């Protein structure tokens, strides 16, 4: 899913790291991946977009100084990462807890399934989520008729038995494996019986030709589609909001039209990102080293066990985009006015606690 831990302490730590070493990408686990095939595909079709601050007149943002509205939804989903159960407050208005950590390993086997007992005190619906990272691995694990896929389906159905639902979060399905992915979902659907079946899909604001995550094809198979409406800007893109209001409005409009409010869960980010004006973590050929030495007027060359090295300092500009109670509340208010009935969050433990009084259940 998704995702990077990002609080104010980490922002300042990240800035210090950037100043010392260049712009580093945040850790991929448990956090958002860098530019994925999915993100790249979306970027290729989104040739023109309205400005990031675009909002239709009827969805103008509330004034900053006013009390934030309380927005009510039919369902509120939230991801919880195994090992960070302390982030769950049982008083939060959450209907569906999505327990993150299970994944497919290099041999196509289901591993790292979190213990159900860790969240047994939560009174709402509990979902097991499983991820598969990497296009080659996903292709290997999903191959129809293969022993790996047969075992994976069997193990997923077995692991899901204590839970109320199962969610598939395969974000690297290869472009030619769309039909294979659909057949995989159908197999799971038939074996889950009355358990809730959901899938996490990347954000779309239009139909993409040959899309392996075709909302219209997946909708009949599952009970819920969790649209990951975040990472509009990511670690290797230009700086910008994780999910700007205008972009979210376009994603929600498309999702409501194709999926409909009964099965749609609009995902929101709790995290932020930082970008540095320069990324200095690169490999150098010798001529580049000599050029840098001349440009920075390097006078002292040191050696470590005979290996030459030098140091220099340059100013770095850092830009940080993040979410607070206002931005989250304004986005929720926009979604509700558009007809979105269910929302979800990546992930518990990343948010400002000032947010929770602004959301409730119908």
Q: Name the residue with tokens 């086997």.
A: 109
Phi-psi region of 282 (alpha: psi -120 to 50; beta: other; left: phi over 0): beta
Distance CA 125, CA 196 (A): 9
Max Cα-Cα span within the chain: 72
Where is 200: in which H helix or E strand? strand 196-202
Q: Name the residue with tokens 């860790």.
A: 118
Q: Is the dihedral of CA 338, 341, 346, 352 positive or negative?
A: positive
Q: Are 346 and 87 in contact (CB under 8 A)?
A: no
Asked about 171 being catalytic, the answer comes back as yes
Nearest one of 80, 76, 81, 79 to 94, comparing CA atoms? 76
Where is 45: in which H helix or E strand? helix 37-45
Residue 18's Cβ-side half-sphere holds a number of Cα atoms within 13 Å equal to 24
Q: Pick the catalytic residue from 32, 103, 171, 232.
A: 171
Distance CA 135, CA 132 (A): 9
Where is 334: in which H helix or E strand? helix 325-338
**Residues taking part in catalysis:** 171
């Amino acid at each position: 899913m998704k995702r990077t831990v990002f609080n104010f302490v980490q922002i300042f730590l990240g800035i210090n790291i950037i100043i010392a070493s260049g712009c580093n990408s945040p850790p991929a686990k448990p956090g958002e991946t860098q530019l994925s095939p999915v993100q790249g595909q979306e970027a290729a079709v989104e040739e023109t977009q309205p400005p990031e601050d675009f909002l239709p007149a009827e969805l103008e943002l509330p004034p900053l100084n006013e009390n934030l509205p309380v927005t009510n939804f039919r369902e509120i989903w939230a991801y919880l990462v195994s090992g960070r159960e302390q982030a769950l407050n049982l008083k939060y208005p959450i209907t569906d807890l999505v327990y993150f950590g299970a994944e497919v390993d290099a041999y196509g086997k289901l591993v790292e399934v979190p213990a159900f007992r860790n969240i047994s005190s939560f009174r709402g619906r509990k979902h097991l989520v499983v991820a598969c990272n990497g296009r080659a691995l996903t292709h290997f694990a999903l191959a129809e008729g293969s022993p790996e896929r047969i075992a994976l389906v069997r193990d997923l159905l077995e692991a899901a038995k204590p839970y109320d639902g199962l969610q598939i979060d395969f974000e690297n399905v290869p472009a030619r494996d769309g039909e294979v992915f659909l057949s995989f979902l159908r197999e799971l659907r038939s074996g889950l019986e009355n358990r809730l079946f959901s899938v996490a899909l990347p954000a779309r604001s239009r139909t993409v030709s040959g899309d392996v995550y075709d909302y219209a094809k997946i909708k009949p198979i599952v009970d819920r589609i969790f649209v990951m409406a975040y990472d509009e800007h990511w670690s290797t893109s230009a700086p910008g909001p994780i999910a700007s209001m205008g972009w979210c409005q376009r994603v929600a409009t498309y999702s409501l039209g194709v999926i409909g409010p009964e099965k749609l869960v609009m995902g929101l980010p709790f995290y932020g990102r930082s970008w540095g004006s320069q990324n200095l973590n690169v490999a150098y050929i010798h001529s580049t080293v000599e050029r840098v030495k001349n440009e920075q007027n390097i006078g002292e060359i040191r050696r470590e066990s005979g290996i030459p090295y030098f140091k220099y300092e340059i100013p770095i500009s850092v830009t940080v985009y993040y979410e607070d109670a206002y931005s989250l509340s304004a986005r929720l208010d926009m979604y509700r006015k558009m007809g979105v009935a269910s929302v979800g969050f990546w992930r518990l433990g990343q948010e400002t606690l000032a947010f929770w009084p602004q959301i409730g259940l119908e």
